[in-house]
Amino acid sequence: MPYLTILRYPDPRLYRKAAPVPSVDDSVRALVRDMAETMYAAPGVGLAATQVDVLKQVIVIDASERRDRLLTLINPVLLEKEGTQYCEEGCLSVPGVYERVERAARIKVRALGLSGESFELAAEEMLAVCIQHEMDHLEGKMFVDYLSRLKQTRIRARMQKLLRKSA
């Protein structure tokens, strides 16, 4: 299977909202498989379907050191959030850019898994950051949007330069 193409900031398609998946069927499982392969190959710790131009509420994350704990969140809903943490974040859609963003320290989410089963997950530290970052993608929001206008302008210029180089 060829890897999926990851949209690059500031592509306007990254700013669209994903829709809930009506049922977790084979096509959704195939999407998850392709997204996971794409994320591992990149390599990255998380990928949202919006980033591969699919407007479905599907996220894959692997924040483990050994890269052997794939987490799939379908139709994720934030149930609780608490506290504050600042973590340096990166994004496969904004290569080479790492910036500190404010996030909740602890969260609880409900989502569907690969067999369509509903589960709840409590997360903190880096995993909580990843989940919040990826859930933002499903809402059409980028971590860059939290930064100052000046930083956003610089990042845009940098991405456009990268784009010209690869063209």
- What is the binding site for Ni ion (CB under 5 A)? 91
Instruction: Give me the least distance between CB of 26 and Ni ion, in Å please.
Output: 26
Instruction: Give me the least distance between CB of 93 and Ni ion, in Å please.
Output: 6
Amino acid at 80: E
| C-alpha to C-alpha distance for 32 and 41, rounded to whole angstroms | 14
Residue nearest to Ni ion (CB): 91
Instruction: Give me the least distance between CB of 116 and Ni ion, in Å please.
Output: 25
Question: Catalytic residue among 117, 124, 134, 139, which?
Answer: 134
125 is catalytic: no
At 63 the three-state DSSP class reads coil
Percent helix, strand, coil in the chain, to 5, is 35, 25, 35
Among residues 112 and 142, whose Cβ is nearest to Ni ion?
Answer: 142
| C-alpha to C-alpha distance for 159 and 154, rounded to whole angstroms | 9
Among residues 91 and 120, whose Cβ is nearest to Ni ion?
Answer: 91
Q: Any bridge partners for residue 19, and if so which? A: 56
Among residues 98 and 119, whose Cβ is nearest to Ni ion?
Answer: 98
Instruction: Give me the least distance between CB of 119 and Ni ion, in Å please.
Output: 23
Which 3-state string (H, E, C) describes 84-140? CEEEEECCCCCCCCCEEEEECCEEEEEEECCCCCEEEEEEEHHHHHHHHHHHHHHCC
| C-alpha to C-alpha distance for 149 and 97, rounded to whole angstroms | 15
Among residues 17 and 117, whose Cβ is nearest to Ni ion?
Answer: 17
Q: Where in the sequence numbering do the catalytic residues fall?
A: 134
